[in-house]
Chain A
Amino acid sequence: MKKLPISQHILEIVSDAGEGAQKAGSIFAQTTAKMGNYLWTVELIPSEIQPPPHTTRSSSGIRIRFGSEPITNGGNLTNLIFVFNEMSLLARLEAHALAEEVIVFIDNQWASDPNPDIVRQYQQILAELSQRGADIYELALSQEVEPFTEDPQKGKNMFVLGVLGFLYQRDIDLLQACAAKAFSHKSAQVLASNRALIQAGYAWGQGQLDFCFSIPLLPHAAPMVTLNGNQALAYGAIAAGFELCSMYPITPASSVAHTLANIFEEFGGMVHQAEDEIAAIGVALGANYAGKPAFTVTSGPGMALKTEFMGLAVITETPLVVVDVQRGGPSTGLPTKIEQGDLLSSLFATPGDAPKVVLAASSIADCFHLMKTARTLAEELRILVILLSDSNLATGMQLFERPAISAISSSPPHAAEMESLPYHWDKLTGVPPRLIPGVSQKVGMTSSLNHSEAGLVRYDSLANEAAHQMRSHKLATLRKCLKPPAVLGEEEGDLLLIGWGSTKGAIAEAVQIARGNGLKVSHLHLVFLNPLPPRLKEIGAGFKKIVVVELNYQDVPGDPYTKDAPRLSQLALLLRSHTLLPIESFARVWGRAFMPQEILTQIEQEILALEAS
């Protein structure tokens, strides 16, 4: 028996929809986390609700990256895949997800399927993989589970869980306990059969395999929780004291509301599903106006519809938080896939000059904590705050320290009771007092037209200029209080990578490897996109080259058709105008997250080019 030492691994379990690969994966992930590993999991979801079975479109599963060091991203290529049929394997192959030397476990029942087409394609696919260097283990999964269950369709996943438990040397008792908990709502019969199946799978591994993996374990010092990004946004909203989530269904944002809908009322909150995206933000704005902390959550197409209301929030200086779980665009684009294409439209889509705060979550923990930051800033500065997440965070699961919360207050910071007027701006910070209907004794007019300090309509140049300046000062107030961004690595060198949002983990991992290899590369990651933090220009000046890394479009470098004036990616455009530095970008719209390896390759190329010049 060989015990292969590894520090981290990427495991996939993929089956036809309904065969429980995701369930087995989540039990495995939980056991793994409890034993003292970090992880990042991503669900592999078919795009249609009920695709035809045994096709590439029907494959459904889970990808788990786990290891002894904190894990911040989905990683590179899959090291080990457990598939229930050859089409699932093909789907993952076509998705370029598998490492060349991937270890494959596959149910071999298809090799003897009565349909000769299936037999042929089974053999072809295995042959192709084998040629690429894969290490293939076929097992008679259906036969193995038969003694323990009446319906082999339902039992295979538990057997697989047992095999994986052996392969990665998971604590069998803990594995059984986690499985029992996951099926606690099922009958005793099902529980017993599951228990036997896991045991049998583990025993099969012991008896049939001549290797297993050994990963160092380090029990977590603090209590940890594992959530996906949308769950984190939902629980973060509760922790931040929000009491209303007003939304309209849209992928990939909806599950924020799903999570809340189940529990929000116990916290005194409610989910309001409005008739459309516009009404959703309108209700949130009305509620904030009347003193109830409310937010709306949406994705790109919804953001487009909400722009007029966002302008209203800006000019009326009503606190409002808009969460945008970004997806591929424009228009309907790639509803389930990741892109960071809403950056510039978040900043600038509202017609007219509309200063607002834009910040982006770069981890699951950020999704949780930034909800509170967003509410605080919105209320304290009477400003619109857009919090950007994306579908990579939305479905990715990550371990983070359980937040410490002792009290959750939902009352707005204060209803200023002033002799002054509703827009009696503080001349320095630009922040006006906040009158709340029913709470403040003094009544006030809130106007979508340009207005004076009294909230009355003013069309004259001076009043318009003054109101714009005051709204802009609020952003300046926040900017003055932002800290210079932390730089991973030296503050000077050959190459500086700048990223924002969910790409943080992959960029940081690549930069750390490159620095380990002696390359002078550093990483700066932005949480605040508007206002931008101070010292960006000074930090940038310390490097020979600055490259933005983001999941956005840029004209393909070297394309002869566009090379005379290639279009830049969004953050590069923003940072160029902000710093006047010749910032370039490594930007792609592949509909998936960057792998650290891809960024590492880019770093190496950039540095080679720098050395050459």
Chain B
Amino acid sequence: MKTLHVDQFTAGYCPEEAGFTLERYAGEQPRWCKGCGDYAILVALEKLLALKKIPSNQVVCVSGIGCSSRFPYYLKTFGFHGIHGRALPISTGVKLANPKLTVVTVMGDGDCFSIGLGHWMHAVRYNPNLLVLVLDNEIYGLTKQQTSPTTPLGTKTKTTPKGPYIPPLNPLKLIMGATGVSFVAQTATWMPGHVSATLAKGMEHSGLSFIRILQRCPIFSPQAFGQGGKEREGFCFLTHEQGILLEDNLQNMAESLPHDPRDFSAAQALVQQTEDAEKGFTPLGLIFQALNRPSYEEVRFRSISHPSPEEKAELLLDKLKPFEI
């Protein structure tokens, strides 16, 4: 077919460049509450996919249950809205089926750190090549304000009207103690540029890239993380040439701390400090990255053969020989 498009000649049309726009990845109109940080993450992800020029049909977004888990509906890629806490096993299955797919797993704090904690720790150990986003607003939002594992002491919720009885779980300490951890970063929705840079770093990493994204729920936890960054104390950018690079407009939004993300001991020491009542702070940036840790699917696919259907049949009959009479 030789019909010519006029704009191929008049407008310097380049098919590869064209089409990788935000709209290409935009699904349904999001129905999150106004003021929700989820929007920033959605836009950041759409931008990243456009930037990396990943065809929509090569992307699978898997989620669990919760506000954040509506993510896949709002992306025009393959989407799998699963069940509470179980997004990681599904994602691992997808990678074992087709390692070429770009898989983004989106969970909330309840989803990942509470009901799905077992899967989380084991997924970190398996290390499949996933971009894992945990949208942590320190509250259960979809079920309307119950306490989550990360709800700080003193925060009143419907199940703990006087605030939680026990201190919150520190996901950074937990993951930095997990065998096989390969990528840990933290960012916050009120810094969209930082979210974008962190997501990009995570997507470039081979292995499970765990990114905790701090946000508030405008309805049920508006006070979380200093009202979503409005009180700018306690946050600290981790700076390093191998880490997340800061755009100019972010420089003055928090303190800076030099930190080498390739240094495991330094990373472990860093996360210990996040719980220190006196000197504690909230790091933003790349906390840890291990290079050259093979992903689970890499390890598994390395040792399998690829016989043809006929060879398989022959091989099976061969394997049945010892049982033959």
Contact = CB atoms under 8 A, between A and B. Distances in A.
Interface stretch (A50-58, A135-143, A146-154, A219-227): A219-227
Contact of A265 (B77, B79, B303, B320): B303
A612 interface: no
9 contacts: A269-B304, A272-B300, A282-B89, A283-B90, A294-B96, A438-B58, A443-B77, A444-B78, A445-B78
A527 to B, nearest CB: 23
Interface in A204-255: 220, 223-227, 231, 235, 238-239, 241, 244, 246
A235 B316 contact: yes
A118 interface: no
Contacts of A276: 118
Contacts of B307: 266-268
A406 B94 CA distance: 29
Given A34-B325, A278-B86, A282-B89, A270 B98 contact: no
A449 B90 contact: no
Interface string B42-57: 0000000000000011
A354 B145 CA distance: 31
Given A284-B93, A406-B310, A448-B81, A224 B86 contact: no
A309 B86 contact: yes
A443 B78 contact: yes
Contact of B316 (A220, A224, A267, A449): A267
A290 B93 contact: yes
A407 B310 contact: yes
Interface string A275-299: 1101111111111111110100000
Contact of A226 (B59, B83, B325): B325
Contact of B79 (A227, A269, A312, A446): A446
B81 A445 contact: yes
Given A235-B320, A445-B27, A289 B94 contact: yes
Interface residues of A, number: 73
> When A and B form their complex, which 7 residue pairs have the shortest distance between CB atoms, in order from nearest?
A286-B93, A282-B89, A292-B97, A290-B97, A275-B122, A286-B90, A407-B309
A402 interface: yes
B309 A408 contact: yes
B44 to A, nearest CB: 20
Interface string B290-308: 0000000000100111110
B89 A224 contact: no
A320 to B, nearest CB: 10
B119 interface: yes
Contacts of A288: 93, 97
A399 B94 CA distance: 38
A407 B312 contact: yes
A279 B312 contact: no
Interface in A148-177: none
A308 interface: yes
Interface residues of B, number: 54
A225 B323 contact: yes
A283 B96 contact: yes
A154 to B, nearest CB: 23
A290 B89 contact: no
Given A235-B320, A405-B317, A406-B313, A279 B325 contact: no
B94 A435 contact: no
Interface of B: 27-28, 56-60, 62, 65, 72-73, 76-83, 86, 88-94, 96-98, 100-101, 118-119, 121-122, 300, 303-307, 309-310, 312-313, 315-317, 319-320, 323-325
A437 B316 contact: no
Given A223-B324, A287-B93, A267 B315 contact: yes
A536 B305 CA distance: 47
Contacts of A443: 56-57, 59, 76-79
Contacts of A263: 319
Interface string A257-269: 0000001011111
Contacts, number: 203
Nearest to A397: B323
A469 interface: no
The secondary structure that dominates the A interface is: mixed
A30 interface: yes
B208 to A, nearest CB: 14
Nearest to A267: B312
B79 A287 contact: no
Nearest to A274: B89
Given A286-B94, A289-B90, A265 B78 contact: no
Most buried by A among B76, B309, B323, B325: B325
Most buried by B among A220, A281, A290, A444: A290
Nearest to A405: B313
A311 B84 CA distance: 13
B83 A448 contact: yes
Contacts of B91: 286
A275 B312 contact: no
Contacts of B73: 445, 447, 456-457
B82 A448 contact: yes
A33 interface: yes
Nearest to B56: A443
Nearest to A282: B89
A407 B308 CA distance: 8
A47 interface: no
B89 A278 contact: yes
A441 interface: yes
A141 B62 CA distance: 65
Contacts of B81: 445-449
A437 B60 contact: yes
Most buried by B among A268, A399, A438, A440: A438
A261 to B, nearest CB: 12
Given A441-B57, A448-B81, A270 B97 contact: no
A449 B300 CA distance: 33
A289 B27 contact: no
A266 B96 contact: no
